[in-house]
Structure 1
């Protein structure tokens, strides 16, 4: 990619260029529901977020299949019917193995590897330098002192640049996720939900730039805790009422056992209430309770399929407790074999 391709056009010029193209896409998103794409029309998506994979491999971690034979992780995942990989990306991350990396260059390289393995790819923007989640929405350090207008330009530039790097590596994402668990907004305080017009402006800039580079790729907003229906609706109402554009509602839920049916009912309410299909973009459970995690995963898969939900992603199933003390994976570190939790993707 040339330097010109990486930097042009500027945020203001880009918005001018987009008036025609985005107006059409936005009208479709707002008026006629999600864009009809091959990815959406395909069968129910079973996926996994494996963003830690390169850092774990660099530290010597490996994974065995259920027979105890060491294999490439993507090969093992495909054996469980997983067809899609979710990858997060941060703006200016540190080099910390567990809480850094995931720059757009690294993410694009891993996306290419996933594509070469025959997997679809979901690219998830956190709009921060490290974790953003339902309780934390910090802007990148370089944006922290910006006014809303400056941050809007930075958002246009960043997403346009990032999507072109993904494209440069030969990957067209099946989905792009703008923000991570954005119940309280993004890049706070500038994009806080208490400033809904600014929150919506920033997210619409990300939506528009994604569509500029990948016109047919559906764009997700992402909310956590669907068990708290009012909290999810609070965001979606503010976003919709201020002209927010999105194609799919992404939801995180790690519910287990008897808590699953109520969460599924809320997911169905969210789907019908906003006219956008839902996708469970995060799921997981205690590594020490694999049969519970398996059965709850099966309940989510069958329940989502029952009302037309698009898919389920397991969050970092390959993680080991010795790597960042992660205890919600689906691999037994002592044997390096998948646990019974992974069987939740089978026969579902």
Structure 2
């Protein structure tokens, strides 16, 4: 099954329309997947950036000088960004936006700043995570076959929007913390063939538009090795394909070595390199977070892991009360946590 001719035509028309607006920026495709595979990746998810800017938030460097966020991140050796996208999000500043067009516009800015882009599909209208996997509202009542076609069409269109804007994703994450499946109940892990079918529709459309871009499946809580193995065994047994195993871990201090050991086991068992696509720690314990980040980077490099992404380090109160960022809300400067990248 492939995207309908109607969808292909719609993609071209939307791309043409975008060409007159914010998305028609630049012509360079930036650093591509080949380069992405050769160097340990230091990255950050900054999906809140555009909405923070829209609400007047700014960032200062470690010396207190108001500076472009991309410039500050690069001072810490960060060379890649992770951007999430939702299907039909609300207008809520922190829990909405991240529509496809908004995400593509931010990806263009990242590319123009010389940063690689990891695009992450949540396959929902807002947060999906290890405990929540709700389909987009528009898909919820669909049969499996209809949802499968919707997935083909959606990802094919998304990849063509990126292609039209001359952004080649360095990596694409098909789902977010999908231990229990996606678009539940249709794509629940208890229905492994359907779960795999939906994920493979996404995988195939990434490869159709960007054949060299690696795909990631993304699992949370590698401290619970059985949970990760349960998903990967079911996905593999039903014909699932992927290039990199993405893992979330916010482990700190003495918990880091055990998580690293499990990450190494996952890499060895399934023959796919791992990437830590989410990391963070308590805002009020920056030295601990810094040292744990260093430990993850050292450990991952030691067994051939591909990289580490800090999750939304730029977020600070009152835009968000999320407690694991790396920016001081009082000074608007990065905390010592980001020194773990140096």
Per the normalisation by structure 2, the TM-score is 0.91
**Counterpart of 2:261?**
265
In the alignment, the residues of structure 2 paired with residue 241 and residue 278 of structure 1 have an alpha-carbon distance, to the nearest angstrom, of 19
Change beyond 3 A, Cα 1:325–1:38: same
Give the number of aligned pairs.
318
**How many Å separate the matches in 2 of 1:284 and 1:186?**
24
Contact 1:6 1:164 in 2 (8 A): no
Summarize the alignment of residues 143-292 of structure 1 with structure 2, pairs less than 5 Å apart: 143-292=139-288
CA distance in 2, matches of 1:321, 1:229: 34
Q: Deviations over 1:288-325 (max 9, x none)?
A: 00000000000000000000000000000000031121
1:309–1:211 CA distance, 2 compared to 1 (3 A)? same
Q: Distance in 2 between matches of 1:5 and 1:291?
A: 54
Alpha-carbon deviation of 1:7?
A: 2.2
- Determine the C-alpha separation between the residues in 1 that align with 2:66 and 2:33: 36
CA positional deviation for 1:43: 1.3
Distance 2:328 2:95 in 1: 22
> Residue in 1 aligned with 2:7?
7
Alignment of 1:1-348 (within 5 A): 7-8=7-8, 38-346=34-342
For 1:14, the equivalent position in structure 2 comes to none
Aligned with 1:86: secondary structure?
strand
The residue that corresponds to 2:22 in the other structure is none
Q: Which secondary structure state, in structure 2, belongs to the residue aligned with residue 331 of structure 1? A: coil
Flag structure 2 segments of 5+ consecutive residues without an equivalent: 11-31
CA deviation map 1:310-346 (0-9, x unaligned) = 0000000000031121111101111111100010000
8 Å Cα contact 2:218/2:247 also seen in 1 = yes
In structure 2, the CA distance between the partners of 1:39 and 1:191, relative to structure 1 (3 Å rule), is farther
CA distance in 1, matches of 2:37, 2:184: 36
Runs in 1 of length 4+ with deviation above 3 angstroms?
none
Structure 2 residue matching 1:338: 3-state secondary structure? coil
**C-alpha separation between the residues in 1 aligned to 2:191 and 2:112?**
42
State how far apart, in whole Å, the 2-side matches of 1:118 and 1:246 are.
26
The structural deviation recorded for 1:5 is: 9.2
Q: Secondary structure at the match of 2:294?
A: helix
Deviation of the 1:9 alpha carbon: 6.9
Distance 2:228 2:290 in 1: 26
Distance 1:9 1:203 in 2: 24
SS in 1 for 2:259: helix
Which consecutive unaligned segments of at least 5 residues does structure 1 have?
A: 11-35
TM-score by length of structure 1 reads: 0.90
* Corresponding residue of 1:13: none
Structure 1 residues 45-95: Cα deviation after superposition (integer angstroms, max 9, x where no partner): 000000000000111100000111111100000000000000000000000
| 3-state SS in 1 of match to 2:202 | helix
